A and B are shown apart, each in its own frame.
Chain A
Amino acid sequence: MHDIIIIGGGAAGLSAAKEAYDPGLKILIIEREAQLGGILRQCIHNGFGIHKYNLELTGPEYAQKTHHLLEGLNIEVLMHSTVVDIIKDDHFELTIMNPTDGEFKLTAKAIIIASGCYEKTRSQILLPGDRPAGIMSAGNAQRYLNLDGYMVGKKVFILGSGDIGLIMARRMTLEGAEVLGVAELMPYSNGLTRNIAQCLDDFDIPLYLSHTITDIVGKDRLENIVISEVDHAFNSIPGTEKTFEVDTLLLSVGLVPDIQMFESLQFHTSPLPGRSSISIFKPRSMDALRAAMLYTFMTLLTGSVKKVKKPDDMQKCMLKMSSNPPPLNRWNPVKTSAMSCLNALIMKIKMRPFSFH
């Protein structure tokens, strides 16, 4: 039986492990990939750690620095392993799979889910048109390019002006692709202004605000996309169509927390579709540790900076939260860039171990 099992060995999981660490606790991190660091490993651009380390690091450097904080601490790590189910009884029972041991179970008094986000797909934003190859999420393209070494396209268009999209516009351009433009549904960009400057303006890549894709044409590989201007109700305006001949479309249209695992744990879930599903334990089943855990989870989602030190505070905090769910706009995937999201995760997790009953 572990005291704490942390699901996910990325920025949030590693930071959570460090904050939760106590020599008397048996802590395990479960990571599905071959290395720790999560998405930071593919974010090869610099700009990480300005607040935390007062340094301008690349993603892999930030991951390594965070990993080094755990050196010498007695924290177990289980690599190549995926959690496929969680059951909550007196304790948590996790069903885990990996290539060497197959399926097996581990138990823990507490779990921290730090499994990150997944990117919204084409079907989640209901893009019309054909379904050829060459349409993928910007983060996927980033992984293919930066870790796997595949150039995903030569003539590229990007939908969504979130930071991943902007970073990929520059990255693809530097690698020799032609990025014809970035379309953004909103009248403003969701990315950092400095990313507009250094990723688009530096390379003369046009940004089409209040535009969206209204048609996709391609038999096997993507051939054309059509973008149209939208009015204030986001309806496309006829006569404003522009056609771009491209072989690749990258989608940078938002992130959704990967918290499917919570579904078996009896939560109240936010009814807002496609957004962060903020889940809350039923108050009667709370003890200090669960509250602490949940607080960490809530903090992951909401980016709340409130520090709660005593179990009593936790209880109060919990009761307050459960009777009055936090405003969802604090963690708005549309407005939160991947980078600032990661930074928020890293900076704002504050969990201390409590005595176990």
Chain B
Amino acid sequence: MSVKSMICIVCPVGCHIDVDEQSLEVTGNRCPRGAVYGKKELTDPRRMLTTTVIINSHLQRRLPVKTTDDIPKGLLFKAMEEINKITVKVPVQSGDILLKNLLNTGVDIVSTMSLEI
């Protein structure tokens, strides 16, 4: 029986948690979200991705964007390639969907900033 030690990344507390590799039982977490994270990290590790895309704004040259949900960790670099193909024209609102169903994950890419000009 082996135990995997990791740091929970759900919140800034950063609990040191241990996950049993067989039973997927999590110990050391100070909240229920840690148990969910520990299990998921062993079976299907996922991350939120935040980056920027090109925009024709007068104010700045990049528009910050994010995934609407976490995506498989192994897809991060592929996702970056896809996202880097996006160009956006103003006006754009925070929350506007810029790319649907990124790499068939069911996750969208949305703007995180509103820019009018």
A residues apposed to B, CB below 8 Å: 34-35, 41, 44-47, 50, 56, 58-61, 64, 145-149, 171, 174-176, 192-194, 196-198, 201-202, 339-340
Contact = CB atoms under 8 A, between A and B. Distances in A.
The listed residue with most A CB atoms (<10 A of its CB), out of B6, B51, B73, is: B51
Identify the 9 closest CB pairs spanning chains A and B, nearest first: A193-B14, A149-B61, A44-B64, A194-B9, A197-B7, A60-B113, A194-B14, A58-B112, A147-B60
Contact of A197 (B6, B50, B112): B6
A44 B114 CA distance: 13
Nearest to B15: A193
Contact of A64 (B12, B48, B114): B114
Contacts, number: 81
17 contacts: A44-B51, A46-B50, A50-B11, A50-B12, A56-B48, A61-B94, A61-B113, A146-B62, A147-B61, A174-B77, A175-B51, A175-B80, A176-B80, A194-B9, A194-B11, A198-B9, A340-B12
B8 interface: yes
Given A44-B112, A147-B62, A197-B6, 8 more contacts: A44-B64, A46-B50, A47-B12, A50-B11, A147-B60, A174-B76, A192-B12, A192-B14
Contact of A45 (B8, B10, B50): B50
Contacts of B6: 197
Nearest to A176: B80
Contacts of B1: none
Given A147-B62, A174-B51, A64 B9 contact: no
B50 A58 contact: yes
Contacts of A174: 49, 51, 76-77, 80
A114 B113 CA distance: 23
A193 B9 CA distance: 8
A67 to B, nearest CB: 10
Given A58-B64, A60-B112, A146-B64, A198 B8 contact: no
Contacts of B10: 194
A175 B49 CA distance: 12
Interface string B59-72: 11110101000000
Contact of A148 (B7, B62, B77): B62
A193 B11 CA distance: 10
Interface string B10-52: 1110101000000000000000000000000000000111111
Contacts of B12: 47, 50, 192, 194, 339-340
A196 B7 CA distance: 9
B97 interface: no
A35 B94 CA distance: 15
A146 B66 contact: no
A13 B62 CA distance: 25
A171 B64 CA distance: 12
Nearest to A35: B59
Nearest to A149: B61
B54 interface: yes
Contacts of A45: 50
Contacts of A44: 50-52, 64, 66, 112
Contacts of A46: 48, 50, 66
Contacts of B114: 64
A195 B80 CA distance: 20
Contacts of A64: 94, 113-114
A196 B12 CA distance: 11
A202 B94 contact: no
Contacts of B50: 44-46, 58
Contacts of B80: 174-176
A41 B64 CA distance: 9
Contacts of A58: 50, 64, 66, 112
Most buried by A among B16, B48, B66, B113: B113
Contacts of A148: 60-62
Interface in B56-97: 59-62, 64, 66, 73, 76-77, 80, 94
Contacts of B8: 194
Contacts of B66: 44, 46, 58
A44 to B, nearest CB: 4
A58 B114 CA distance: 13
